[in-house]
Amino acid sequence: MTDKLKGILIAAAAIATLAIGGAAIAAAAGGGNEAAGPADAEEAAENESGAEEAGENESSASEAAEQATGPTADDAASAALAEVGGGQVLEVEHGDDGASGYEVEVERPDGSYVEVNLDENLNVVSTGSDD
């Protein structure tokens, strides 16, 4: 075979592979032309429940944005554990309503929960039970 013919065959195979992959993605995304019927009503109900789940995901995304991570969050967790005498840190968040500092939720060894509020310098501002 000549080099030119090999190049053409390789290009044709690559194009065919891309076309098949694109068709598979379209089919998986639900791009079919099914006739309207009872399945459409079921799909509409699923879409409605999906909208409710999207609302839940938005609040989860909002909560994730409040989560503190990194070395400073680790230091905040250590300060909170020292304040309450040990336990397990469940989450570290940035202060509410744009307040600087951190809120650290701790589960004590006895199973009770406490929230420790720290200022931006990791000094304890307050502690309280967390339900």
Identify which of 35, 78, 30 has the alpha carbon closest to the alpha carbon of residue 50: 30
- Strands (DSSP E) contained in 1-131 are 88-94, 102-107, 113-118, 124-129
Phi then psi for residue 62, to 5 deg, are -65, -40
So what's the pLDDT on residue 125?
A: 92
How many other CB atoms are found less than 10 A from the CB of residue 52? 9
Identify which of 118, 117, 46 has the alpha carbon closest to the alpha carbon of residue 130: 117
Mean pLDDT in the chain? 75
pLDDT digits (tens, 9 = 90+) for 15-36: 877 777 666 676 666 654 544 4
Length of the chain: 131
